[in-house]
Amino acid sequence: MSTRAIVVVLGKQGAGKGTQCKRLAQHLDIPHVSTGDILRAAVRDKTQVGLEVASILEAGQLVSDDLVNRLVKERFNEADAARGALLDGFPRTDVQAEALDEILGDDGVKICINLDVPNALVADRLSSRRVCQECGAIYTDSDIEAISGTCTNCGGDVVQRADDMPEAIIKRLEVYERDTAPLLSFYESRGLLVRVDGDQDPQEVTAEILEVLTERGIG
């Protein structure tokens, strides 16, 4: 079996995927691949892709499978992904899950973590979330970085994401239930799904995930 550590992190918006993947990437020394971060950087830099997807992101809709699949394929060609990756926000549809298998070839997905949180919690987490536009660091509205508007990590601007506004949050959670939740059964049927309680302190969640990965010989 290949030792490439491909870890898919699934969970609804606000489950803590970004926070956990950033922490896990440091522990495991593999890249955090977030399609949301890649798309937001394209929007910020006004690239051709960015101009194409800006209004879709803002409305909380999904961008096309073809486009995201292409971006992920390109990302996997970079040297740092040779040892593995933490996938956050991808796959998000059954078409993307199949594209991922094709992209990975023999190095299939090793495990899928379902970061589970009650619905009541996510709306609160999303509306108080603030992010750095430059490095993607995640804060809450009571953090000093959010109040001052400056990231202590990189000096970038800390803002509220356009899709963390109430209307877009409702839309995104609907899209999650319709398009992404079915992937839980996809990975469960392959014996790859492990549920982790996302309603705990971030350090506890990281520790639980690392334990699960160690048990499966990953990382």
| DSSP letter, residue 60 | T
Q: Which of 70, 161, 171, 216 is catalytic?
A: 161
Cβ neighbours for 180, distance < 8 A, ≥ 6 positions apart: 10, 12, 92, 93
- Interface pick for ligand ADP out of 5, 20, 21, 36 (rule CB under 6 A): 36
How many residues touch ligand ADP under the rule CB under 6 A: the total is 17
Q: How far is the CB of 95 from ligand ADP (least distance, A)?
A: 9
Q: Measured from the CB of residue 113, what is the shortest distance to ligand ADP in angstroms?
A: 14
The reply on whether position 68 binds ligand ADP by CB under 6 A is yes
3-state secondary structure of 107: coil
83 is catalytic: no
The yes or no reply on residue 54 touching ligand ADP (CB under 6 A) is no
For ligand ADP, give the closer residue by CB, 161 or 216: 161
- Cα 166 to Cα 174: distance, rounded to the nearest angstrom: 13
> 76: which strand partners?
none
- Respond yes or no: is residue 4 known to be catalytic: no
**Quick check: helix, strand or coil at residue 53?**
helix
Distances (CA, A) of 74 to 71, 81, 126: 5, 10, 29
Catalytic residue among 22, 110, 130, 172: 172
Q: How far is the CB of 215 from ligand ADP (least distance, A)?
A: 27
129 is catalytic: yes
Q: Is 109 left (phi over 0), alpha (psi -120 to 50) or beta?
A: beta
Closer residue to ligand ADP (CB): 184 or 216: 184
**Rounded to 5°, angle at Cα 166 from 164 and 183:** 65
In the complex, the residues that contact ligand ADP under the rule CB under 6 A are 13, 35-36, 39, 56-57, 60-63, 68, 89-90, 92, 96, 163, 172
